[in-house]
Amino acid sequence: MADRNPTIVVADDEPHIRMMMKVVLARGGFDVVGEASNGREAIEKCRLLRPDLVLLDINMPIQNGDEALAEILKDLPEIAAIMFTSVADSMTVERCIEMGAVNYLRKDAPVQQISEMVKQTWQEWRSRGGEP
Amino acid sequence: MREKMPLELLLREIAEDELAEAPARNEVVSQEDIGQIIARKRANTGKRTDEKPS
């Protein structure tokens, strides 16, 4: 991979969460190349922008993040998909990981921890050969 | 020690509200528990998280 910042699409129906994550991820060295306010838009943005990563909320209108996860990874398995949600029951976590999410972050984690975990997830994903 | 950011406080407040409203369908897990679930899934199933995409 060229020496560039990893690109990421942020999908969350809450505009202030998207705004906050743009700031947090930019500080962490990521280029936020797209935003989506629902699962369908997340799929469209991923198809269009081909980001390195996608950060997916679960509870979103029109199409949930877990449904979007399945569609994104069906077409674009090279994308590292990270769930970022307040849904924190074990069944949902296991289902998303089985579907191919590379990590699952609770929204109430400290901001610095979120940024570090996204970075760590990306580094591990690359080290496993996940880069496009 | 890192200084608390207003953004962090905002996010935490939102997340706590959403978590409080979430239906208790299953056991709610901590971030640490999630890490263990992921590690177990990788070890047991060799799912995509351990595989190099073709």
Report pLDDT digits (tens) over B1-54.
Answer: 455 567 777 777 777 776 666 555 557 888 999 999 999 888 876 545 545 444
Give the model confidence (pLDDT) of A61-84 as tens digits.
999 999 999 999 999 999 999 999
Structure-block tokens of residue A72: 């994104």
Q: What pLDDT sits at residue B9? A: 75
Give yes or no for a contact between A24 and A115, defined as CB atoms under 8 angstroms apart: yes
Structure tokens at A95: 């289902």
Among candidate residues A27, A23, A24, A82, the one with its CA nearest the CA of residue A51: A82
Percent of chain A scored above 90 by pLDDT? 76
Answer whether B48 sits within 8 Å of A107, measured CB to CB: no
ipTM surpassing 0.85: no
Of B10, B45, B49, the CB nearest to A20: B10
- In this complex, do A88 and B34 lie within 8 Å of one another by their Cβ atoms? yes
What angle in degrees, to the nearest 10, is found between the helix axes of A111-127 and A15-27?
A: 60
- Name the residue type at position A14: E
Q: Using CB atoms, pick whichever of B15, B45, B52 lies closest to residue A86.
A: B15
The neighbour count for residue B49, using CB atoms within 10 Å, is 22
| Stated pTM of the model | 0.82
- The predicted structure's pLDDT at residue A2: 52
Which of the residue ranges A30-34, A39-43, A126-130 would you say has the lowest mean pLDDT? Answer: A126-130
Nearest to B19 by CA among B30, B9, B8, B7: B30
pLDDT number for residue B53: 47
**Cβ–Cβ gap A97/B37 under 8 Å:** yes
Under a CB-based contact definition with an 8 Å cutoff, are residues A49 and A24 in contact? no
Mean pLDDT of A41-55: 97
> CB-based contacts of B49: which residues, under 8 Å, 6+ apart?
A97, A100, A101, A102, B38, B41, B42
Contact A93 B16 (CB under 8 A): no
Q: Copy the structure tokens of residue B14.
A: 């939102």
Structure tokens belonging to residue A108: 């109430």
Q: Could you give the C-alpha distances from A98 to A54, A91, B40, in angstroms and in order?
A: 17, 10, 11
* B46: nearest CA partner in chain A: A98
Cα–Cα distances in Å, from B32 out to A100, A107, B29, B48?
Answer: 19, 13, 8, 21
pLDDT score recorded for residue B1? 47
